[in-house]
């Protein structure tokens, strides 16, 4: 029988700082030259405690916001301060190889128990509100004007 807790704890164990370090040069090029990311406010992040980051981004399953945030995290805090990004759970169903690499980078299925398990393990979590983006995309595709309000966490 499927147990969410078993798969979450397996995913927590698959995060691999060596894999992260080996991919950082590729992420650096994408970060600096392709997306030309600019961030600020890192000095406000506590240096020890786990944090739940909640945000929305430009939409789609392949949005760069989560991996670019994680790249920034790793270069500022190193590979040993754990952070996990919640990734759409369908990736595990459709492309196991991509899911396996994502787990090594710190991805977990986007479920409440994933975030809770990571936070209880002392790690920070990056969450992106899929439902808000889905609704926003639907409204925008109907040429409606919509403003985004932050979701309650």
Q: What is the mean pLDDT of each run of 10 residues along the chain (153 residues)?
A: 57 92 96 91 90 76 79 94 90 89 92 91 85 43 34 41
Residues 6 or more apart whose CB falls under 8 angstroms from that of 124 comprise: 50, 51, 52, 53, 73, 81, 82, 83, 84, 118
Q: pLDDT value at position 7? A: 64
Distance between CA atoms of residues 131 and 96, nearest Å:
24
Domain regions of the chain by residue span: 4-141
Nearest to 51 by CA among 79, 82, 78: 82
Distance between CA atoms of residues 115 and 113, nearest Å:
5
């Amino acid at each position: 029988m499927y147990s969410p807790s078993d798969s979450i704890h397996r995913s927590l164990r698959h995060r691999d700082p060596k894999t992260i370090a080996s991919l950082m040069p590729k992420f650096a090029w994408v970060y600096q030259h392709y997306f030309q990311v600019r961030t600020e406010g890192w000095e406000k992040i506590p240096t020890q405690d786990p944090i739940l980051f909640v945000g929305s981004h430009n939409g789609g399953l392949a949005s760069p916001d989560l991996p670019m945030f994680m790249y920034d995290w790793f270069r500022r805090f190193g590979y040993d301060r754990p952070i996990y990004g919640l990734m759409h759970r369908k990736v595990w169903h459709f492309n196991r190889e991509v899911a396996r690499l994502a787990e090594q980078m710190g991805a977990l299925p986007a479920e409440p128990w994933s975030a809770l398990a990571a936070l209880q393990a002392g790690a920070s979590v990056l969450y992106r509100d899929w439902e808000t983006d889905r609704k926003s995309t639907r409204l925008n595709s109907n040429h409606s004007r919509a403003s985004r309000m932050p979701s309650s966490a």
